[in-house]
Each structure stands twice: as C-alpha cells, then as structure tokens.
Structure 1
Amino acid sequence: MVSKATSLMLLLSFFAVITAEYAEKEDYTLEIDQKLGSNAAGCSMYRCKKSSQTFSSNVCSWYDKNYDIYYVQTCLESQTCTAGTKAGENYTCITTPTTKLQAYPGEKCSTAADCVNSVGCTNGICEGTATGSACTTSAQCIPGDSCQKVAGTDVCTELIPVGKTGCANDYDCAYNAGCNIVSATTLTDNTCVEYLSLTPGSQVQELSCVGNYTNLCSSGYCAKTGTGTTAQYLCTDELKSNHSLPWKCYSTESEACVSNVDTHTGLYAISTCSCSFSPHGDAYCKPLLGDTPYKRLTQQNYKWVTSKYVSSCNTERRLWPSNLNCIQDYWTDTEAATMIYYGYALSSYTEIQGAEDCVMNVFEYEYLAAKKAYGKDEAAREITLAVALLISLIA
C-alpha cells in the first residue's frame, strides 16, 4: 500500500491547484500544468510479480533496471509499500504508520487531544473560539464565523452573506461563496460572490484570478484579455479535453492534451501527460476542469457547500479535501462516500489507467476502498428507488 495523502493535498478546492504561464505563439496559449503526476517521458512499467521470482525480505516492488519494470507483490495487511529515496530503487514493506486527522472546531471528538485550533472537546464536539473573541486564524473560530478585522482587532465574526462587502478571502464569506477581491487592503471594495455563479465572459477581479483559476467562474478558469487600461480578467468557456478520456499520450512536449479554444480570450488549456501504473509504460492526459472527473467532484462539492450540514463545520473545512473529516461527521453516508470516491478517482486518474489488479492493491488501495464504499451506497440507492417504485405501483 502507498499513501495518496500527498496527491490529495494538491486538491485544495473544487479544482486542483494549478499554475499557468503564457506562451507567445501566433496566438496566446493558456498553458495549465496541473502537476498531479509524473513526467510522461520514459514511463516505467508495473507488473505483477511472476511466480518464478523470489524477492528479498520486505521487498514489495522489485525494479528490473534492464527493462524498466517494477514487479509488484502485496505486503502484509499491517504494512505499507514505500518507495525508495530515488527512482529505480526497490519498494519495501514497512509497518503502516498510525495517522489521525485532527478535528477542527465543530467536528466530533472523544478527548481534547483529538482537536486542533480548539479550546477543548465538549459534549463530543471540538469547541472553537466564540464570536467576538480574539483570533489569529479562521481555523480557530466556531462554525459560521471567520477571523476578521473589526476596529483594528482580529476577532471571530459571522460569515459575510453573498452580495455583501468586507471579505479578505473566501473563508470570510458564506460557505457557498468566495471573495471577489479588488483590494488586499481596502476590504470594503471586496464582495462575496456565490461559487461558480459567474458565466463565461463575465468579469472577475485580477486578485481573484490566481494562476488562471477561480472558484467564482462556472468554468473554473479565468484569463486576462487586453492590455493597459483596457485589460480585464474574464471567465472562460468550459474548457475540456478535445479527446474522449482516457486519452493515451506520448510526450510532454506534444500538445496532445489540449482543450477547446475559449471564445472570449482565444486561449486554450493544456493538461499534463502523466505516467500510469500500466504494464506497458503508458501515459495518459490528466483531466481538465471541464472533463467529467473534475466536474462531478465540483458538483458534489457545490452540493456540500449549499447543504444544511456544512454549517456544522469550521469555515476552512468547506472544500475537498480539507472537508474530509466534516463530511464524514455530518453528511449522509451516501453523499460522503460519493465525495470521497470522486476525490480519489480524480487524484488517481492517470495512475489507475490500465493497471493490473495486484498493482492497484498495492499502490491504489485508498482509491479501491473509496470505490468499494461508493459502490455499496450506489447499490443501496438502487434498491431504495426500486422499492419506492414498487410501492407507488401497488398504491
């Protein structure tokens, strides 16, 4: 087993954190490197251990440098398969580290040791800093509050409703909204805008268009158009891969992983060509924000921030994957399982393409567990619908 925690932490919001740069060609090209995987050039192959092979003690993946193949076998149930310090080294089994997600204010606890940014565990809930009390970060405040400056002092203050001004960042706004930032200092110029509400061609403030990405635009993408006094930042069209996914690619230098062209700015997106765990060393294009793996996670996250359950959580626990603890505490099992599965399916998207079962069991066990839990809830939903239909027919 190999932990996906690192790649999950790259998913800090509806969409993966992305960086962008402009490349001057005959037209402008929005090059978006999603940086969720490895370089596609020279992908290694991953195959199940042959019955004729004998591994050294504790080796779970032996590297054949002559053919660039990793042969894989599972560890004991209590162990995790861990990579070497550099490429081309064997993977070894170690005792699975004990990890525990610490709970923010509003989340469930057994003792105060379960809580972080909290003043204690009271009646099974991590207690936060009360409204009107001094704070240094929004993570300390009770659900429904953020740490805002009032009369020169940082205090826990109620979240700002959609359409109202005064936010410094998204966490100051209602759970379903983000801050459209005009000024980093004059907060009265900044307005809370509902997530995903700005349509293609709508203007978004420069400070809210970071790396050509914003949660305020329905597409998730934004871009600069014009220069000098005519410069402005606009929401782009939905940008999705030109090819049906999964799409096999062969070089990071190629533009195989491209999107449609935005009609408002003339830009298009390029995603990463990334290695999979396939037995043939294949690489695949990572999804863009308009592709199904992203869109379904986005839609599920939007369902969460507009639900009644999110109000039980600290403002910083609104978006995937930081909301993992809270959705499991308060959302229905079905909805939480759906969010978790969509999250892992996205973060593992290219790696799982074409991978053999034994390889999946070692390197993608968290994805498999999430998929299994999601499948159980899907089956339960189908049974519930069938029973409801039968009752309606009888009635």
Structure 2
Amino acid sequence: MWSLVLLSIGTLAITCPMYSCHEGGFDLTPVCGTVASDNIVLQICDGPSGSYCDVSGTITNNYTCVSGPPYVQNQAYPGEFCMVNSDCITNLCQSNKCIGQNVGYSCVSNADCTVGTYCTSGFYCALQVVSNVQCTNDYQCMNNMGCNNTLFSPGTCVPYYSLPIGAVVGNCVDMLTEGASNLCNSGACSLLNPGFDSLGICTEAFVTPTKVYPRICTEDSQCIGINSTGGSIIGACSCGMDMYGHAYCDSFLGDPPAQTLTQLWINHTTNPNIKNCHTQRRFDHFCLTQTLEPYQIQTFYESSDLATDTARYQNNDDCTKAIFNHQYWNYSPANFACKAYGCASPTQSWTGNTCVTFNEGSNIYNLNPCDSLSETNYCHLEIAQANKWSNVTCTVSPIDPPNYPGESCTNNTDCISNICVSGVCKGTAQGGSCTSSSQCNVGLYCISQNYMFTCQPLIGVNEYGCTSDYDCINTAGCLFNVTGEPGICTYYYSLAIGTPIICNSASGLNEFCQTGTCYSTGYSQYGNCTEAPVSKNPLGVPCTTNSQCTGTNSYNLPFQSTCTCGYNPNGNSYCQPFLGDPPGIAFMTFIKTFLGKSGPINLCQTTRRYSKDCYQIYANHTNTMFNVWYLDFLNFTSFPYLIDNDQCVKDMINVDFWSIPNPIHPKPVPLPPFINENITVHHSGSMMLAGLATLALAIFS
C-alpha cells in the first residue's frame, strides 16, 4: 500500500492515506478514484459511463468507470472441466474434461501430461513418485507430498506438513520476518544460512502476543511476535485501506488467519481426492473443490487474503469495499458452490442479442436461446463468467472444423488435407512425409524413421514400439506396464481380472481391463484389474463432496467417483456413475462392441477413433442406430450434466443429447435432509471452523 514515511524523534513512524467515499454532494463521474490531500477519495460507479471501477494502473492518473472488467480466459488443465477444446491448455476436451498425455507419451511440460503424471527431463510423461524417492521439485511427487530439496541439491518426496520441530527442511522460504515451509507440521522454519541457501530447521510459529488481532500500529517495533520457546521477532507495520488511515501489524504464521489457513491446507493435502488434480494444480481452485466443501473454500480464501495482507481489509468503508475489496467482502459459500442454469424469467429484459447473463443474487446463469433463423444464431457459452458484467451475446456460428482422412466431404475445403475424393477426405499415403499422425490416411500413423517423419502402418497387437494409442491399430491402445517395459499395443478391454496395471483413478476407470475397472489402495498408482463397482446411493441424488459418491464391487473393494456440478435450475451436483451402474453397463456394451477386435472402427483415422464422426462411420457400416450408441455414450460420460435440464439448457448446452428422440431421461432424486454445517465466519479477521482440532501454526507459501 502507498504510505508516507516520516522521521520523528528516535523512531520510524508510518503515516497512511485514508480511503473513503467522497463527501460534499459533487459528482466525480466518470472518475471513481482520485488523490486529494494525500488521501484516496472514491465514488462507486453507477452512471452511464459504466458500473465497474478500473483500478489497474496508477491512481495518479485517476481511476475511471468502465463497462466491466476485461475478459480473462484461464485455461483448464488435464482432469478439469471444459466445454470446448480451446478451454484446455492441451486443446483437447472430451466429455467435459480436459485430456492430457498418458504415461510414456511425449511432452514438453507438465501441463501436457494427464493427472497423476509429470513431464520428465527426457520429455515423456511418467508417474508421480512416492515417499522417500528422489526428486528435484514438488510436481514430481504425488499430490499429497512435496520435495524436500534445497536450491542446489535434490531431495526426497515427503508428505506435506509432516516434519516435526527440529527437523531439517530443504526449502525454507524467507518471508523477511520469519521462514515458512509447507513440509513442517508447524508451517514455520528458520534458515540455517540466511542469504546463502534455502536449508532450514522446522520451528514453532510466531504469534502476536495480544488478545486482539489484528493490531493497530504506527511503527514496526510495535509488531512483536513470540513463540512457545521464548523466541521473539519484529514484524512489519503496513498501511492498508483504513478509512481513518490506520496501519496494522502483518499476520504472523501463528496468528488466526494463518492458523485457519494451515488447517485447511492440511485437510486438503490429506484428503485422498487430491489425487484427482493435475500435479501443477494441486493448490489451485479446482483442486480445492475436490477436497473441501463450499463453506470451507470460502474460509480458505478469506483466511488467505488476511494472512497475505492483513491491513488491506481492516476498517474499509463502503466505497473501498465495493471498488478495491469487493471480492473479499462478497465471499460466501455460494461463490464456491455449483452455479444454476436455466431459462430467464419471462419478465427479464434482454439487451441486444444477449444470450447469457449471470445473476449474482441467485447464483444462476440465465439463458436466452439465439434466434435460429438469424445470422447471429450462436451463443459462445464457454466464455460466460460468474459475475454481473459477463453477458454473452449471439454471434455468427463458427465454421465447422475440417474433416480428417476417411471422413465425408463435398469439396476440398471440407478436409484438413484439402483433398476430397469421391466424397471422402484423403490424407498422406504410406511413405509420405508428415508432421503429425492426423495427416496420415486411415490405418497409418506418423513416425520418425531414418531421420524422416513418414506415414507408416499402425502397430499391431502385442507388438512393442508405441508411444501413444494413436500408434496402435484402432482397436488397441499403448500399454505401459508396471515393470517399466516399452509400450506395447494391447486390445482395449482385454486384460483379465487380477492383471497388474497402472491404476491412478479413484473411480477405477481403465480402458485395458475387461471390466473397464482397476483398483489400487490409498495413494498407490499401481493396482490390478477387478470387477466394476456399483454406486452405494441411488443415482440422481444431489451431492456436495466426492466422499458422498462411493461404491463397492463384488470383492467389497471401495471406490469413489466425482461429485460434478450439473446444468440445472437448483445448482445441484450429482455423482458420476460407476461402470457397474445401469448407465455404465450400457456404456460398456456399446464401447466393447465399437472397439471390437475387427470391424468398422478400422475405417476411422487413428486420431479420430473416439470422435463422434467415427461413431457415425461405425453406424453407417453396421446398419445400427447411431442415436442409440451415442446416447448410451453420453448418458454415462455426461450423466451429471443431463439431470433436471430445463428447456433452455436442452436447447443451448446439451443439444446433442436432447435433440435426439430417445427413451433415456435422467431424473433427479429428492434432496436429502439439510445438514447444518455449524460454521461461523467473521469478516473482521477472526475466523472459526467448527469442529476443527487445535489449529496448526503454519501457512503455505
């Protein structure tokens, strides 16, 4: 924060500006923030120039009202929700989930690899390593562990918040006033060689020795921290956005917000659902939704804000809350719960060609289908954001992506190769040069031979040498065994129960096991093929956490699927079915037939084996009902998204499913009794999670 530092007799005093709404009856529009007598004068935007105060840049040029914040697209990582390919950092979205490369496949960075893997120095995806195995960074370790390395030497993977007081920690982060490490169970550490390396010792956390937190101050010397061993340090006195210009002592790692934050980090890292997250996203928002409930996520963000910048959120007046700190003061469980989707009220007025608005009060996306007869008949739902400025308007329909070799066409421009012959797209023939397998004709893939990339026949079953499924014939995938052998092309859904296999999914999904299911214990990524599980609860019952989505198989082995936000008017989420549930059984019947050891799937281009176009080719050559197969596929892979859709959702989001006449209509089940979470949250800075044990004195950095 901006502060004026004044020298007084024998001390360094801090003078801070006051942040307050302007007075006097005059109108600052379009200005919403300016400097007056070294203080910050504010006015909430509500005029024709816009309803959002743009506080980017410097206030010396005044802050002005604009129509809304700039649109920022944060791309999702493998395992996270998506609507279209461009939502994903890998540019591949299947069944509303971003897809990454599997074990053994080539990569450039961790972002290329699927959940449970990382990109090695040899540029291939490998399984994350377990406790006590050598590492050089956290991302190589399983998601519940960090790498106890130093700046100059490798370390080993150890569970987060597991090292006791006095233990040596490799990466003690210097926070200027105290050291922090998310490997120490206290969250605090002390550097052994400050300024030279990161090696430290786990210590007790420091705490403000006053009954009231936060503490008003005028100089650093008033911000004393002590710990239980009798140690003391001088903290920092910082300016915030106080309406009277007060400064406040920064939070120590033992103060309330940091304590609460640490306990939530511990809850997060010890929850088995953390394995659902991409290695680089283990501490990001999506991963928090896998392990914490909405009220806990709210408390997490509030505590994080206070622990990071205590002074900023103290004694804000209304204008400061609305302009600078609206996110903090508007935190509620609804912010982190599923959004509702539905047709807007008939009385709602729509501006121009608006097709999506977000109502913050009711936490719902209001939908308004575009006019199908208009030139602007397409709504880009994927760019909608959960704020009142995020209206989406109807636009011209995007051009259909070009078809791949083997798919239908009417002219050359329909094809990715720009070659259409007799109504079918043609690609590069065997022996022709290529840069990717998508360029090759049906039955071929792109491989480097004699320093040249050419299209060659797909690898047969039980033959080694594959690096991805697309190298194998269409009925087989590239299997990397637990023994570390090179990839071998193996028929999908062919391995018998009991076969050892890499298994890093809590739900047990595995496309090589006969049953489509494998099982591994705890955090292990190695397991065996087993029988498919059945859900414990009836399908269609709303859920709030993954822990409510459990199932067992005939061997009484426990499984857990995901609690997924749906597209319904109530903002409910639902459990993804298991393969032993009716939608899963129908899916397995379809997929095993589709991937039969011989048949029309071999008429599809290798990179398109799971595409809708390939399903259509299959149906055309087997005289089967494409609609039936495709609906069975969607009813399993998209089950939570199909429950309780209203007409606008059917017309705009799940049109692929609902536009086809079918007997499948997923139904919601009545809500279970309300459970009082008994949680109290105070914006003043002191937060309490009911039921938590003694809070650990630490903070993740």
Q: TM-score, normalised by structure 1?
A: 0.72
Please state whether the residue corresponding to 1:157 is helix, strand or coil.
strand
Of 382, 395, 419, the residue aligned with 1:95 is 395
Q: Percent identity?
A: 26
Residue correspondence of structure 1 range 205-284 to structure 2 within 5 A = 206=502, 214-222=510-518, 233-249=527-543, 251-252=544-545, 255-260=547-552, 263=555, 268-284=558-574
The structure with more radius of gyration? 2
Q: Which sections of structure 2, spanning at least 5 residues, go unmatched?
A: 1-81, 101-113, 117-141, 145-158, 160-266, 279-285, 295-336, 665-701
Aligned letter for 1:365? V
TM-aligned CA deviation for residue 316 of structure 1: 1.6
What residue number does 1:384 align with?
A: none
Offset at residue 106 of structure 1 (A): 1.8
Q: Which has the higher helix share?
A: 1
Contact 1:119 1:129 (8 Å CA) reproduced: no
Q: Cα–Cα, structure 1 residues 226 and 316, in superposed 2: closer, same or farther, change >3 Å?
A: same
- In 1, Cα distance between equivalents of 2:436 and 2:482: 20
Q: Equivalent residue for 1:192? A: 489
| Cα shift readout 1:86-131 (whole Å, capped 9, x = no counterpart) | 2033543412423313221222222332222x37222322222222
Report the number of matched residues: 356
Contact 1:30 1:269 (8 Å CA) reproduced? no
Q: Does 1:11 align with 2:91?
A: no
Q: How does 1:101-180 map to 2 (within 5 A)?
A: 101-116=401-416, 118=417, 120-150=419-449, 153-180=452-479
| Structure 2 residue identity aligned to 1:194 | Y
Q: What code does the residue aligned with 2:604 have?
A: C
Q: In 1, distance between residues paired with 2:577 and 2:530?
A: 17
Distance, in Å, in 2 between the alignment partners of 1:276 and 1:325 is 26
Segments of 5+ residues of structure 1 without an aligned counterpart are 377-395
Q: Secondary structure at the match of 2:496?
A: coil
The 8 Å contact of residues 134 and 156 in structure 1, kept in 2 or not, is answered as: yes
Quick check: 1:177–1:195 contact (8 Å CA) kept in 2?
yes
Structure 1 match to 2:360: 65
> Is the contact between residue 429 and residue 441 of structure 2 (CA under 8 Å) also seen in structure 1?
yes
Q: Distance in 1 between matches of 2:482 and 2:94?
A: 26
Paired residue for 1:315, among 599, 603, 606? 606
2:398 is matched by which residue type in structure 1? T
**Residues 94 and 140 of structure 1: CA distance in aligned 2, closer, same or farther (over 3 Å):** same
Distance 1:235 1:360, change over 3 A: same
The verdict on how the C-alpha distance between 1:232 and 1:342 changes in structure 2, with shifts beyond 3 A counting, is closer
**Alpha-carbon spacing, 1:64–1:190, altered in 2? closer, same or farther (3 Å):** closer
Moved more, 354-363 or 97-106: 354-363
Calculate the TM-score normalised by the size of structure 2. Answer: 0.43
Using the TM superposition, give the Cα deviation of residue 28 of structure 1 relative to its aligned residue in structure 2, in angstroms: 10
The answer as to whether partners of 1:173 and 1:179 remain within 8 angstroms in 2 is yes
Are the aligned partners of 1:29 and 1:269 in contact in 2 as well (CA < 8 Å)?
Answer: no
Q: Cα deviations across residues 310-348 of structure 1 (Å, max 9, x unaligned)?
A: 2222122212xxx22233345327443233323443454
Deviations 1:7-28 (A, max 9, x none): 9953279x98773567699x99
Deviation of 1:30 after TM superposition, in Å, equals 7.0
What's the secondary structure of 1:178's corresponding residue? strand
Cα offset, 1:194, TM superposition: 1.2
CA-based RMSD? 4.3
1:352-391 pair list within 5 angstroms: 352-369=642-659, 371-372=660-661
2: CA distance, partners of 1:12 / 1:44: 19
1:207-241: CA deviations, max 9, x gaps?
A: xx56675421134344557999xx95422432343
SS of residue in 2 equivalent to 1:326:
helix
Distance 1:130 1:185, change over 3 A: farther
| Preserved contact between residue 482 and residue 500 of structure 2 (Cα < 8 Å) | no
Deviation, structure 1 residue 290: 4.2
CA distance in 2, matches of 1:328, 1:5: 20
